[in-house]
Chains A and B, each alone.
Chain A
Amino acid sequence: MTENANTMASESQNAAPVIHVSPSPHLSNQALTTQRIMFDVVIGLVPVVLMALYVFRLYAVKQLAICVISCLLAEALFTKMRGRALSLKDGSALVTGIILALSLPGTAPWYVGLIASVVAIGIGKAIFGGVGMNLFNPAMVGRAFVMIAFASVLAAGGYQDAGSTVDAVTQATPLDSFKQTGAVTPLFALFFGLTNGSLGETSALACLLGGIYLCIRRTASWEIPAGVILSVVVLGGIANLANPDTGWTVLHHLLGGSLLFGAFFIATDPVSSPMTPKGKFIFGIGVGALIMLLRIFSGYPEGVMFAVLLMNALTPLINRWTIPRPLGAQ
């Protein structure tokens, strides 16, 4: 009821149509189905997937095929175990599969994608009660599991395959080479994505294209990526000022690693992020701050996955802090 009042109030004040995803009961847009959201996400992911295919060639094809197929199979299996109608058509398993594949290195062995998918769908989603009930981003749950389980093939060193015919794969990832040797990758390479890394993270351009599409369609809320980028800019700026000699500037922090991919495609998962615009912004700020904390102070070169998972855990708390107040209420 409070949401009704709030939505109506804001709609009468602002001419622009604003879709707030708030707790029920609310005036719902019939077109805004899970299926449509997921279809939009897939469209948004197209530039990223194309870029991954271009940079990583067969590695990307293999990883995408494994993750998508195993996610769909796992979804079918677990929905059947729970005695529910098959829900493959809503596309959520497809999206989880694509995002999972894009967050893994192409060089990872086949079983990594398979196990990550089963964990993502099974432990990340089905156990909590299926689509819309999960506490954590399923793709990140799956990735965290394999990251810890198969640390030797997924730690920074596992991304490299010196004998590969695909150029990108022969180098160290930008964040890792910076962490280990202080080498700074040129901004140009980071922006277009001609570097090594997880499949979807290399190209900042592709992530921006897809991400901006999602924000315009309002499938993803712009508050989250805005919060992430804002806090990375501020904290990255401070880190750069404190240590100006490293050559790793704020722009490197923004374009390097999986920051933009995470900000636009992972953190914006509508199920595991907060519901109110204010909450979403806080969530984004938190993700960005944790990413910088992990990048600078932890043993890992990148921190997007853990940052998103940690903030997912805080989502119910953020929701509680940011309950919208009805107009005129104290």
Chain B
Amino acid sequence: MADQPTSLERFVQGILPENPVFRQLLGLCPTLAVTNNMKSAITMTGAVLFVLFCANVITSLIRNLLKPHLRIVIFTLTIATFVTIADRFLAAYLYQMSKTLGPYIPLIIVNCIIICRCEVCASKQGVITAGADAIGQSIGFGIALSAIAAVREILGTGMFFEIRVLPAAWPDWVVMVLPPGAFLTFGLLIGLVNWYEGFRAQKAGKIEG
């Protein structure tokens, strides 16, 4: 396994080069559904961080005991457990937020980011690398969600974290807090990221050539 990335590489990759949302297009269900305000986006990121970190660490710890054909069962079992914990925790201590997020917390179980990280990283590498990978990927997820939520909340309600940032005369773009706003913002941001990556690749190509 000499060619596996190191902890630091795993951590950095998750943030932009392999950003789960913008580059891998994983976990789109929460990306589209809970990004109409910053608070939901941040809470969702927190829940994903918790579940991904725990699932990655546990998977990494038992990686030598895994039977290849039973690994998916074990991943799912682990993920479901921590999702339930996160869901109950929110219901107990952040009741309003848990009502707002509704089914999207339980749906983290089927969030591809987590099973993907368990499969790609945690089931092959050590605990520290798996942990770093989880944190990196969650930060990447959080950046993506916050970027979309910031655009949608500011344009849609004139507020940021429920604090008014645009003048009261701002006509709220209601469409931005509705589902179409999620698709439009997400599409335009992917375009922006791709354009940036292309720009960077071009520059790198020039230096090499």
Q: B174 touching A123 by the CB < 8 A rule?
A: no
Q: A123 touching B184 by the CB < 8 A rule?
A: yes
Q: B178 touching A109 by the CB < 8 A rule?
A: no
Q: How many residues of A contact B (CB 8 A)?
A: 10
Q: A148 touching B171 by the CB < 8 A rule?
A: no
Q: A150 touching B184 by the CB < 8 A rule?
A: no
Q: A145 touching B171 by the CB < 8 A rule?
A: no
A149 within 8 A of B: yes
Whole-angstrom distance between the Cβ of B154 and the nearest chain A Cβ: 14
Q: B184 touching A148 by the CB < 8 A rule?
A: no
Q: B176 touching A149 by the CB < 8 A rule?
A: yes
Chain B residues contacting A145 (CB-CB under 8 Å) are: 175
Interface of chain A residues 102 through 156 with chain B (CB within 8 A): 109, 111, 115, 123, 145, 148-151, 153
Given contacts A123-B184, A148-B180, contact A111 B174 (CB under 8 A): no
Chain B residues contacting A123 (CB-CB under 8 Å) are: 184
CA distance in complex: A149, B173 (Å): 4
**Max chain B Cβ within 10 angstroms of own Cβ: one of A109, A149, A150, A151:** A149
**In the complex, which residue of chain A has the Cβ closest to the Cβ of B184?**
A123
CA distance in complex: A111, B171 (Å): 9
CA distance in complex: A148, B156 (Å): 11
Chain A residues contacting B184 (CB-CB under 8 Å) are: 123
What is the 8 Å Cβ interface bit string for chain B, positions 176-195, against chain A (1 contact, 0 not)? Answer: 10101000100000000000
Whole-angstrom distance between the Cβ of B161 and the nearest chain A Cβ: 22
Q: A151 touching B171 by the CB < 8 A rule?
A: no
CA distance in complex: A327, B12 (Å): 63
Whole-angstrom distance between the Cβ of B152 and the nearest chain A Cβ: 12
Interchain pairs with CB closer than 8 A, number: 19
**Max chain B Cβ within 10 angstroms of own Cβ: one of A111, A115, A148:** A148
Chain A residues contacting B176 (CB-CB under 8 Å) are: 149
Q: How many residues of B contact A (CB 8 A)?
A: 9
CA distance in complex: A83, B3 (Å): 41
Whole-angstrom distance between the Cβ of A123 and the nearest chain B Cβ: 7
CA distance in complex: A150, B96 (Å): 28
Chain A residues contacting B172 (CB-CB under 8 Å) are: 149
**In the complex, which residue of chain A has the Cβ closest to the Cβ of B170?**
A111
**In the complex, which residue of chain B has the Cβ closest to the Cβ of A145?**
B175
**In the complex, which residue of chain A has the Cβ closest to the Cβ of B180?**
A148
Whole-angstrom distance between the Cβ of A241 and the nearest chain B Cβ: 37
Whole-angstrom distance between the Cβ of B1 and the nearest chain A Cβ: 43
What is the 8 Å Cβ interface bit string for chain A, positions 144-180, against chain B (1 contact, 0 not)? Answer: 0100111101000000000000000000000000000
Interface of chain B residues 44 through 76 with chain A (CB within 8 A): none
Which residue in B171, B173, B174, B180 is a CB contact (below 8 Å) of A109?
B171
CA distance in complex: A84, B200 (Å): 22
Interface of chain B residues 61 through 119 with chain A (CB within 8 A): none
Chain A residues contacting B178 (CB-CB under 8 Å) are: 148
Whole-angstrom distance between the Cβ of B195 and the nearest chain A Cβ: 10
**In the complex, which residue of chain A has the Cβ closest to the Cβ of B177?**
A149
CA distance in complex: A145, B173 (Å): 9
CA distance in complex: A115, B176 (Å): 13
Chain B residues contacting A149 (CB-CB under 8 Å) are: 172-176
Whole-angstrom distance between the Cβ of B171 and the nearest chain A Cβ: 6
CA distance in complex: A151, B176 (Å): 12
CA distance in complex: A151, B184 (Å): 18
Chain B residues contacting A109 (CB-CB under 8 Å) are: 171
What is the 8 Å Cβ interface bit string for chain B, positions 3-22, against chain A (1 contact, 0 not)? Answer: 00000000000000000000
CA distance in complex: A150, B176 (Å): 10
**In the complex, which residue of chain A has the Cβ closest to the Cβ of B191?**
A127
Chain B residues contacting A148 (CB-CB under 8 Å) are: 174-175, 178, 180
Q: Please, could you name 17 A-B residue pairs with CB atoms under 8 Å apart, sorted by A?
A: A109-B171, A111-B171, A115-B173, A123-B184, A145-B175, A148-B174, A148-B175, A148-B178, A149-B172, A149-B173, A149-B174, A149-B175, A149-B176, A150-B171, A150-B173, A151-B174, A153-B171
Residues of B within 8 A of A (CB): 171-176, 178, 180, 184
Residues of A within 8 A of B (CB): 109, 111, 115, 123, 145, 148-151, 153
Question: Apart from A148-B175, A149-B176, what are 17 other A-B pairs with CB-CB below 8 Å?
Answer: A109-B171, A111-B171, A115-B173, A123-B184, A145-B175, A148-B174, A148-B178, A148-B180, A149-B172, A149-B173, A149-B174, A149-B175, A150-B171, A150-B173, A150-B174, A151-B174, A153-B171
- Give the 3 A-B residue pairs with the shortest CB-CB distance, closest first: A149-B175, A148-B175, A149-B173
